[in-house]
Amino acid sequence: MNTANDLLTIRNLTTSFRIKDTYHAAVDDVSLSLNKNEVLAIVGESGCGKSTLATTVVGLHNEVNTKVSGDIFYNNQNLAKLNEQQFNNLRGNDIGFIFQDPLSALNPLMRISEQIEEGLIYHTKFTKQQRSERVLELLNHVGIANPKRVARQFPHQLSGGMRQRVMIAIALSCKPAILIADEPTTALDVTIQAQILDLLKTLQTETEAGIILITHDLGVVAEMADRVVVMYAGEVVEEAPVKELFNNPKHPYTRSLLNSIPQTHSENERLEVIQGMVPSLINLPREGCRFSGRIPWIDASSHETKPQLHEIAPGHFVRCTCWKHFHFEGEEGGGTV
């Protein structure tokens, strides 16, 4: 059940995909919660299970060959147990979703007004007149200068930034309590990214919605998030308020991610990278610390055999014990606790 301040509570959520007759967990025993009026960022490289987590929450994952276990509590309902019909009442109404690529996420054959209106048809008792008024109001709200004209246009007639604004208008059409934004700025160029983030931030403060922001861009996290969950290979490896995470990152994976952000003022001209890559679902080691393979210079004994999340400061959780002994390759040994 949800506690007083929680909007959404995820408990032990596991989403597995069937590959050649075996199920492999893409999201492995994840627990987290989203508070009211909060932006929760989920970060990690591609293939870490961020998007799978987001789609599972709203039941948008591919149902064939997929197994979901665990609980997702929202408004005294367990979303993990809903059927399609119940999900349809919830999607768009209580939970809005913003996708990565606004061009492919919009139907090329439908006018903008029709696409925004669609959610209203199923979740409100608005008349046609009221719906078109609401469409114009929404377009205006997401900062589109000429709502009347844009409403009549088709997606291909709009710029990338405009399309993403339209996507946001769609997601907000029924005033959802939760907004899930899956890499909302990845497909946009940098100046537009900033505008879209500003818009999201403004709208969030206005509507007091909880936002789950999925991204691999730590710049976006720093700008937007209140709290950050770092995922690696399907697991949460670190969770902390945003300031704490940037000032005091603990888990080797988090530190490596932060270390690989290019620094404009740094004298180091080398672009830091993390060795290796996220293991594919089939090759993922399910025993021990999942990140150990990418930091082979760290002594194997510093990992836990069954890595757990430890609360090392209020609200700051880190998985495994290896962070205590972590140092970047070539640097002098860590060991500073």
- The footprint of other proteins (CB under 8 A) covers 58, 60, 84-85, 87-93, 96-97, 99, 101, 104-110, 115, 118-119, 122-123, 154, 156, 167, 170-171, 173
Q: How far is the CB of 173 from other proteins (least distance, A)?
A: 8
Residue 337 burial (CB count, 10 A) = 7
Least Å from the CB of residue 1 to other proteins: 24
Q: Residue 21 region, left (φ>0) first, then alpha (ψ -120 to 50), else beta?
A: left
User: Of 10 and 170, which has the nearer Cβ to other proteins?
Assistant: 170
Report the nearest approach of other proteins to the CB of residue 300 (Å).
42
Q: What are the C-alpha distances in Å from 54 to residues 36, 98, 136, 231?
A: 17, 11, 29, 12
Give the residue with the Cβ less far from other proteins, 134 or 303.
Answer: 134
Nearer to other proteins, 16 or 55 (CB): 55
Q: Which is nearer to other proteins, 58 or 284 (CB)?
A: 58
> Least distance to other proteins from the beta carbon of 107, Å?
4
Indicate the residue among 117 and 217 with the shorter CB distance to other proteins.
117
| Cβ atoms of residues 212 and 40 within 8 Å | yes
Q: How far is the CB of 105 from other proteins (least distance, A)?
A: 4
Q: How far is the CB of 181 from other proteins (least distance, A)?
A: 11
Identity of the residue, 154 or 328, whose beta carbon is nearer to other proteins in the bound complex: 154
User: From CA 4, how far away is CA 85, in angstroms rounded?
Assistant: 28
Taking the CB of residue 165, how many other CB atoms lie within 10 A of it? 24
Tell which residue, 240, 213, 106, 233, has the closest CA to residue 160: 106
**Side chain identity at 153, as an amino acid letter?**
Q
Q: Which two tokens stand for residue 60?
A: 């948008």
Q: Is residue 266 exposed (0-12), middle (13-18) or buried (19+ Cβ within 10 Å)?
A: exposed
